[in-house]
Every structure is written in structure tokens, then in C-alpha cells.
Amino acid sequence: MDAADFYTGLVADLYHPLKAHTFDAAPYQAFIEQCGEPALELGCGDGEPLLDLRAHGLEVEGVDSSADMLERCAREAQVRGLAVTLHHQRMEHLTLPRHYRSIFLAGPTLTLLPDDATAGQALQAIARHLHPEGRALVPVSEPAPTRPETIGSTRQTTASDESVIRVTVLRVSRDEETRTQVTTLRYEREKDGRTQRLDRDWTLHWYPRDVLAQLVSAAGLTIDEVHGPNGQPATATDTDVQLMLKLR
């Protein structure tokens, strides 16, 4: 399923309260302060860390393929008294009227794209919108194979409206040749004796370092730095890295 279609309806409603972790804005704030403004977050979703960065006074815009997630981001910005510029576009088809000194993805959002060709288009879009002296921060990771005990596991919480919400892992398929993992998830919301239920396939596609380097080069970019999750220079075997890109 396309990421733009995945994060809609019930899934978008339950995304924030069921989220397993929150994004720390500090690393992205440091990136923007180092590379400059204006900045653009690709795949900003419902506003983490975009809104925290705006609260720090940084000039950051957001783009996402899901109108439902952008609507939630705009509502939260209004609650927090923040002005924010949001764009409803796919990152691989990005067409904005300006260039940015800092472009970033908060987390390995690139893995949500279905194949190498689409990732290549996204990198080309980054190149088109990057200021000549700007930098792009692109985290990439290879999802670990799903442990058998994960199948059937449920994450559950109670929402602010007292409804019980949960997400359950139904099944997982993984294809090493196509570098694709598909997880079927069941989302549920129970309130006043009624249950909403929706099953959706969450697809991840990953990139070996050599394939990624080829896509970066073909987009007119070059890899300036590669860091591991601890911020130190990445080793050749690291599968969870952050690429710092610049125009060739």
C-alpha cells in the first residue's frame, strides 16, 4: 500500500497515541543551525519534530503525502499558537517555489517508498530544492527480520476520549531479493460498545549502501558525511546511518 494511502482515516487518528516513541527535536535543530534556514522537513506527518522546531523560532516548512496527517499537524500548530507552512505533496514529486539550505527526514522515511526508482526520484527532488550551499540529512536503515513472537502482539492504550485503541501485528512477509518487508497491521478503536477495525499492509523497502550511493550520485548529489545512530562516523557494516548530502 502507498504511504499516502496508509496514513489515512483510522490509522491517522490512532498514529499519535499509539506511537512507540517521540522524536527529539535537538538533533534536527542542531542540523538546521549548522546548515542554515529556510529548512524543509520531508514526511512531517502530524508535526514531530516540525512544531518543536517552529517553537524554537526556526524557519521550517513541512511536506507530507497524507492530507489527514497534515490536518492533524495544522490543528496541533493552532493549539500551540504556531504559524507553520505545510505542503501536501509526495516527496518524489516535490515542486515548491523556493530552495532550502536544510532539507531533512526525521527518521528513515525513505524506507516507506516502494522501490529504488521512487527513492531515486525523491533524491532528485531533494537536489532540485537544495540551495547550492545547503545540505540534506537523510537517515536510512534496514529493518530487522521480525521475531516470531512479535506475530500476534498488540500495543494498546486509552485515548483522551476514553476509547481503547490498539494495533496488532497479524503477519509479516520479507523478501531479501527485493529488499521489501510487508507487515499486516490491525488497527482498532473501542468506545461505547462499538469497535472500529481496519487492516492495512505497512511496506518497508531498504537500500544497501552501494545501491544508495548510486541513487545519490544519479540525483546529482554527493555524500558529504555518514554518521551512525550515535552521531559518530559510521562503519562500513552499519545498517542504521544518517547521510549528509550536498550538491555535486
Residue 22: its pLDDT value, please?
Answer: 75
Q: What is the dihedral of CA 232, 27, 116, 223, to 10 degrees?
A: -50
Q: How far is CA 88 from CA 64, 78, 139, 219, in A?
A: 5, 18, 22, 23
- What's the rounded Cα separation, in Å, for the pair 119 and 116? 5
Residue 96: its pLDDT value, please?
Answer: 98
Residue 160: its pLDDT value, please?
Answer: 86
Beta bridge partners of 169: 185
Residue 1: its pLDDT value, please?
Answer: 63
Residue 19: its pLDDT value, please?
Answer: 77
- What's the rounded Cα separation, in Å, for the pair 242 and 228? 6
Residue 16: its pLDDT value, please?
Answer: 85
Is 116 strand, coil or helix? helix
- Taking the chain (248 residues) in runs of 10, the rounded mean pLDDT of each run is 80 85 89 98 96 98 96 97 98 97 94 96 98 97 91 92 94 96 96 94 94 97 90 85 96
Instruction: Give residue 57's identity as a one-letter amino acid code.
Output: G
Pick the CATH number of 3-143+206-247 from 3.30.420.40, 3.40.50.150, 3.40.47.10, 3.30.70.980: 3.40.50.150
Is 208 strand, coil or helix? coil
C-alpha cell at 105: 527526514
Residue 20: its pLDDT value, please?
Answer: 66
Q: Under a CB-based contact definition with an 8 Å cutoff, are residues 120 and 104 in contact?
A: no
Q: Residue 69 carries which DSSP code?
A: H
Residue 3: its pLDDT value, please?
Answer: 66
pTM of the model as a whole:
0.94
Cis status of the peptide bond prior to 38, with omega within 30 of 0: yes
Beta bridge partners of 86: 62
Residue 176: its pLDDT value, please?
Answer: 95
